[in-house]
Amino acid sequence: MSEKLVSRWYFGGLASAGAACCTHPLDLLKVHLQTQQEGKLSILKLTVRIVKEQGVIALYNGLSASLLRQLTYSTTRFGIYEIAKQTVASSGENIPFYQRVGLATLAGAAGGLVGTPADMINVRMQNDIKLSAESRRNYKHAFDGLIRVYREEGTRRLFSGASTATGRAVLMTVGQLSFYDQVKLFLLKAGFSDNLITHFLSSLTAGAVATTLTQPLDVLKTRAMNAKPGEFSSMWHLIKYTAKLGPLGFFKGYIPAFIRLGPHTILTFVFLEQLRKNFGFTPSS
């Protein structure tokens, strides 16, 4: 009976928000590594420096923005994907892989656009502690950041980096949702049960694929959102600036990105599956 249950449209956002509470420090470290141009500090040294200078609680800077981002960005992309998948096939399991990719592309584009303002505030709040005291923005929380950006920099600034954020969201959703479903279907056909082991293996694979697909755009998105007004005249300017570090500059912070995205993807789908099994519904209901 439980295998016939499907997710409600908002389960993905709740699951992603729950995962963000666990992985936020890793996300913060990823942002710091991506925005340091010289790249001399390792993730371990960076962690030690932050804790030593700011305290352990500093690792959770920007948590409110991270939660707001998941509740906008992930709720939108998971919701659209689930509804579209259930519309195409009542069970959601007879859809060809290319259709899954197509649905994930549309869902990711919508989620990326909707989640851009919260994403920008998230990046700024996480990056604040590495700035000098006079340069910090000191947003009290996510909503304070949104209001201040709107008043001080205008509506357009709220969607700074929207093109790269949307592109990244498309690749992220394809990597996570469509590959998770496909790997899970493969494992079920191979004799695995619909249990935690299957969910773990499927989400681990999805996390690895998503990290590889999104890292170049993730670096550009982070730099664009954290930039001062007028720092980069165009996306091409930003690309050339990042390219000064060489090809690997576009994969800056790849290891911490996977360390963060892997557990986040695993936790998201584990939470999602538990929500589906305990609070889901049958397609006919």
55 CB-contact burial (10 Å; exposed 0-12 / middle 13-18 / buried 19+): exposed
The architecture that CATH gives domain 2-279 is: Alpha/alpha barrel (1.50)
Question: Helix or strand or coil: residue 135?
Answer: helix
pTM of the model: 0.81
Question: Helix or strand or coil: residue 6?
Answer: strand
Compute the half-sphere exposure of residue 30: CA atoms within 13 Å on the CB side of its CA. Answer: 24
What's the helix, strand, coil split of the chain in %, to 5?
Answer: 80, 0, 20
pLDDT in tens, the chain (285 residues): 345 788 999 999 999 999 999 998 888 887 777 666 655 677 788 888 888 888 888 888 889 989 999 999 999 999 999 999 888 876 545 789 999 999 999 999 999 999 999 988 988 887 787 777 888 888 999 999 999 999 999 998 899 878 878 988 999 999 999 999 999 999 999 999 999 999 999 999 999 999 989 888 778 877 776 777 777 777 778 888 878 777 777 777 778 778 878 999 999 999 999 999 999 988 764
Structure tokens of 60?
């959770």
64 to 69, 70, 121, 267: CA distances (angstroms): 9, 10, 10, 19
pLDDT at residue 84, rounded to an integer: 92
Residue boundaries of the structural domains of the chain = 2-279
**DSSP H or E run through 120:** helix 97-127
Q: Facing residues of 281 across strands? A: 6
Q: Facing residues of 6 across strands? A: 281
Q: How far apart are CA 82 and CA 195, in angstroms?
A: 20
Q: How far apart are CA 187 and CA 105, in angstroms?
A: 24
pLDDT at residue 92, rounded to an integer: 47
| Phi, psi (degrees; rounded to nearest 5) at 8 | -80, 160
Most distant pair of Cα atoms in the chain: their distance: 60
